[in-house]
Structures are given as C-alpha cells and as structure tokens.
Structure 1
Amino acid sequence: MEEQMKLYLESHLSAKDEWIIQLEETAKQDRVPIMDSIGIDYMLNLIKIHQPKRILEVGTAIGYSALRMLEANPAAEIITIEKDEERYQQATENIKKLHKEEQITVLSGDALDILDKLTAEKEVFDFIFIDAAKGKYQAFFESADQLLANGGLLITDNVLFRGYVANPELAPKRYKSMVKKIRSYNEFLTTHPAYITSILPIGDGVMISYKKD
C-alpha cells in the first residue's frame, strides 16, 4: 500500500527537465544520496511561496538540491557546504555546466567550522536546508539558528530515517546510535520555544521549522 501511494504521488509530480533526470541518474549510479522526489517537490513549493533571497544548504553532495532550489527561485543567492572533496568537485562541475556559478557558491570544508565563520561574518539567510551527517543535526541547527532571520524557514531531511525513528528497537545495530540522535533532535526542535515545527511523513521524513518573528 505504501509503495502504491508513493508511485501515485510521483505520477502527479511536474515533468522534469533533462538536466534534472541526468543528475538523478548520476546520483543513483554513484550511490550518492539525494532528496526523495516527493520530499524535494514539497520543499521547492515552499521556496516558490516563500521566495527566499538567501538560501544556505548544509550538505551539497553533487549539487542536485542547490540547483533545484535555484530553479524554484531563480533570483535567490545560494551558499552550500560540502565536506567530501570528491563530491565538492562534482558539485562545482555540475553547477558550472549549467552556468549557475554566479548564484550558487559551494564552500569546501567542515560544516560546523564554516557555519561559525559565517556567523562571525554576520551573514543572514531566510531559508536553511540541512541534509548532511544525521548524527550532527542538532549541532548543525545550533549554528544555523544564529544565521536564520526571524520569519525564516529551516528544513531538515531524513528525520524519520527509514521508519526506525518511530521503531528504534527495529533498527540494525549500526544505526542505533544515529537513530537515537535523530529522535533527540526531533524532540528538541519540535519543542523549541523559538520555532513552530512540523514533521511530514514524505520521503524519508521532512521537518519544517518556522522561526518566529
């Protein structure tokens, strides 16, 4: 039933340009995790509605989500962070191929270090997307929170992690620590006094947090 529902929802998504299909195929072939098609469709609609001028992404991978977010709001400026050198190179190449390097800046290095640097430089963003090391979600949030403007949106992907967050006793041993950290993060942010947060059971779990004015 769940798989049938997913196929039904995917059949109602907008048609994709060829460059999107190619990037998705590359990600699949290289086993690079990218956001689920239903989840990213929802996030892109949020961007179209919210029209953020400055977007910060934690976790570039091959540049797929940054390019899709720019597609949703071509007037946006996007800064995205990637620690893995190979993926950083792939992302910069993909962005250059599509001639979007003037609007998308890829920063190479540890996300927490770069977030601290952006904070010191008093950078401000009105949309932040977290999709990197899941065990560090809360640490990423605590740094990103200082960069997010009041009235801004913060999106976190994979917060249900294959359903194990709801049933941690079923998680394989290698995932138990990470599942525990994601559960803690979910509890932390859904009860945070400065945010209004909802978790949607789409994709691998998408959390939407609105920073109160």
Structure 2
Amino acid sequence: MNEELQDYLSHLIPETPGWAVELETQAKADHVPIMDCLSMQLVMQLIRLHQPRRILEVGTAIGYSALRMLEANPNASIVTIELDNARYQQAVQNIKKLKKDSQIKVIHGDALEIIPALATAGEVFDCIFIDAAKGQYQRFFEAADPMLASGGMLISDNVLFRGYVANPELENKRFKTVIQRLRAYNKQLFNHSAYTSTIIPIGDGVAISYKNNQEGVDQA
C-alpha cells in the first residue's frame, strides 16, 4: 500500500481511546513492535463481525492487541502467550490496570510448548491470532489447528514481511530464512483443504483464514 493511501485511511480511523494511546506511546518508547493502526482496525472489525467467544493469541507483547480485541468484543475471553519475561510483566500490569484480567489470561513461556499443552487439556477457540516469531508460524499453526473450532477464524499478522515475501528482488539476506518460511506458510494456508484463506495487503500483510465448517460440507 502506498504512503498516500495509507495516510488517507489512517485519518479516517475514529479517535483511539486514551488508554490505547498510552499503550502505543509505551510501545514506541520501549521499542516494542505492536500492530500498526490500520492492521489493528482490520482485526478489530473481524472480531466485531465474527464475535468469537474464545480467542487464543500467540505473541502478547505488552497486551495491546489483546486489549483491543476485547474492546471489539467485550464478551470474549482471551488466552495470550508471551515468551519474553519483560513484555509478559508489562502485559500483566497493563491488563490489570484496565481491570481486564478476569477476561484476559496471560501465559509466560514458549508457545511451542504451551499450545500443545492447551490442546491436550481439550481447549477450544473460535479465533486464533498469530503474531509472534515469524519463522515459527508453520509450527504455531500446526500445534494450534486442532484447537480451532469448525467455522473458526485464524488471523496471521506480518505475512508479507516488509514486502520481501512478495518480491524476491527485494529479498534481504539477513532475513532469508524468515522470508522463505513465511512463503511456505502462506502457501500452506492457501493449499490447506480445511481452510479458505486470503491476504489483505495492509500494514505488513494480514492473512485471514476461515476453518471450513465440516458439518456444512458433509450435509451438502
């Protein structure tokens, strides 16, 4: 998306709540990457439309996206996983400060260990949001897929990764492995028989995948 169009769309977004502005300022000061405003608005709109009761987030950071998803659907409950201890502590404090700790559970640890444990415990989610280590998206997806309900929604952020994924001529040697893995992940989503996917070229690229309703398929 060109800068002029992005600027135009950014100015159309309604005023951000004060608490969210504070978190955006905190993230910027601490150099913590959070979703850009347009991508966040897209995710929030998807949450409003889909109204998931239970959301699993892989990559909490400081709690910004979890809180904004809850803003979009105040009746949801969210389980979110963060590996970095400092960010985990920030997230817990931010969520508790806004009195949302009864609806947002933050788990500290490696998602590749925690997700299988949640699956073994029989957890089920209506929406899964992946926004963590880009080179591990396929592994996150494969571990979390059994927990996503039929008719559920999978959202993956940063799937175009600065434009490198879509344009081999721009490929950066420093991120070669990440770029290759994201390409493989995108291909997997689009070729997966249980999912119907699309990528919105907004922000750093947001993939939206619908888990096909198997009951509906069988009845047809």
Q: State the TM-score bracket (shorter-chain normalisation).
A: over 0.9
Which residue does the alignment assign to 1:128? Answer: 128
Q: Is the 8 A contact 2:34 2:64 kept in 1?
A: yes
Alignment deviations for residues 128-157 of structure 1 (CA, whole Å, 9 cap, x no partner): 100000000000000110110000000000
SS of the aligned residue for 1:14 comes to coil
Superposition CA RMSD, Å: 0.9
Q: Is the 8 A contact 1:194 1:212 kept in 2?
A: yes
Output the amino acid matched with 2:85: E
Which residue does the alignment assign to 1:150? Answer: 150
Which residue does the alignment assign to 1:64? Answer: 64
Q: Give the distance between the partners of 1:172 and 1:75, measured in 2 at CA.
A: 42
Q: Is the 8 A contact 2:163 2:170 kept in 1?
A: no
SS of the aligned residue for 1:145 comes to helix
Which residue does the alignment assign to 2:99? Answer: 99
- Aligned identity (percent) is 60
Q: Give the distance between the partners of 2:131 and 2:94, measured in 1 at CA.
A: 19
Which residue does the alignment assign to 1:20? Answer: 20
Q: Is the 8 A contact 1:168 1:180 kept in 2?
A: no
- More displaced, 25-34 or 165-174? 165-174
Q: Give the distance between the partners of 1:46 and 1:182, measured in 2 at CA.
A: 22
Deviation at 1:14, TM superposition (A): 1.4
Q: Is the 8 A contact 1:48 1:72 kept in 2?
A: yes
Output the amino acid matched with 1:38: L
Q: Give the distance between the partners of 1:118 and 1:180, measured in 2 at CA.
A: 29
Return 5+ residue gaps in structure 1 as ranges: none
Which residue does the alignment assign to 1:112? Answer: 112
Deviation at 1:31, TM superposition (A): 1.0
Q: Is the 8 A contact 1:168 1:179 kept in 2?
A: no
Provide the aligned length of Structure 1 versus Structure 2.
Answer: 213
Q: Is the 8 A contact 1:54 1:125 kept in 2?
A: yes
Output the amino acid matched with 1:174: R
Return 5+ residue gaps in structure 2 as ranges: 214-220
Q: Give the distance between the partners of 2:133 and 2:104, measured in 1 at CA.
A: 21
Output the amino acid matched with 2:199: I
1:54 aligns to 2:51 (yes or no): no
Q: Is the 8 A contact 1:168 1:176 kept in 2?
A: no
Query: Where does structure 1 differ by over 6 angstroms across 4 or more consecutive aligned residues?
Result: none
SS of the aligned residue for 1:175 comes to helix
Q: Give the distance between the partners of 1:134 and 1:211, measured in 2 at CA.
A: 21
Which residue does the alignment assign to 1:186? Answer: 186
Deviation at 1:168, TM superposition (A): 2.7
Which residue does the alignment assign to 2:199? Answer: 199
Q: Is the 8 A contact 1:83 1:109 kept in 2?
A: yes
Which residue does the alignment assign to 1:175? Answer: 175
SS of the aligned residue for 1:128 comes to strand
Q: Give the distance between the partners of 1:125 and 1:18, measured in 2 at CA.
A: 30
Q: Give the distance between the partners of 1:2 and 1:169, measured in 2 at CA.
A: 18
Which residue does the alignment assign to 1:76? Answer: 76
Alignment deviations for residues 19-56 of structure 1 (CA, whole Å, 9 cap, x no partner): 11110111111111111110110110111111110000
Output the amino acid matched with 2:18: E
Deviation at 1:171, TM superposition (A): 2.2
Deviation at 1:169, TM superposition (A): 3.6
Which residue does the alignment assign to 1:32? Answer: 32
TM-score scaled by length of structure 2: 0.95
